[in-house]
């Protein structure tokens, strides 16, 4: 019997979750899905430049698990570039540490704790806001998990 997977920590939701080659119609493309934990591994190693050990600690997983995640993510991103596939970011056994809210009227982005409440954009006062973690089906679970772990201020 397999062990249950431990929830992996993802700093914040991605700003974009779909990518395709320019000039190609979606109906002609094969897709590949990058899980949120694979996205986070790629972000930490290749964008932030963290070592496998540092990134594994940030995600609260073992270094060997991190290495498997980064290898899978790099393979999928290479498929997008080399074979012209459509890439989506979704799924995975994760919790977000922070959330990002986007104003649909002015484009302003602001990072918040899950316990924070918001009604209007701090830049233009619009109420036309998008909860990015909510778009991945997260929010309440992440707030509860972060509270059990000592709050959202444990890591930024």
For 67-100, the pLDDT digits (tens) are: 999 999 999 999 999 999 999 999 988 989 888 9
pTM here is 0.84
Under-70 pLDDT residues of the chain: 1, 3-4, 148-156
Question: Domains (ranges, CATH) in the chain?
Answer: 1-96 (no CATH), 98-156 (2.20.28)
Cα 105 to Cα 118: distance, rounded to the nearest angstrom: 16
Cα 4 to Cα 64: distance, rounded to the nearest angstrom: 17
CB 137 within 8 A of CB 13: no
């Amino acid at each position: 019997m397999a062990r249950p997977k431990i929830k992996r920590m993802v700093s914040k939701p991605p700003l974009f979750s779909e990518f395709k080659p320019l000039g190609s119609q979606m109906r002609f493309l094969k897709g590949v899905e990058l899980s949120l934990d694979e996205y986070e591994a790629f972000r930490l190693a290749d964008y932030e430049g963290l070592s496998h050990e540092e990134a594994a600690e940030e995600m609260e997983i073992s270094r060997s698990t991190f290495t498997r995640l980064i290898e899978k993510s790099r393979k999928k991103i290479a498929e997008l570039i080399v074979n012209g596939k459509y890439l989506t970011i979704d799924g995975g056994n994760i919790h977000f540490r922070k959330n990002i809210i986007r104003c649909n009227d002015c484009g302003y982005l602001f990072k918040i704790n899950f316990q924070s409440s918001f009604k209007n954009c701090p830049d233009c006062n619009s109420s036309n806001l998008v909860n990015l973690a909510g778009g991945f089906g997260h929010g309440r679970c992440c707030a509860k998990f972060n509270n059990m772990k000592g709050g959202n201020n444990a890591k930024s």
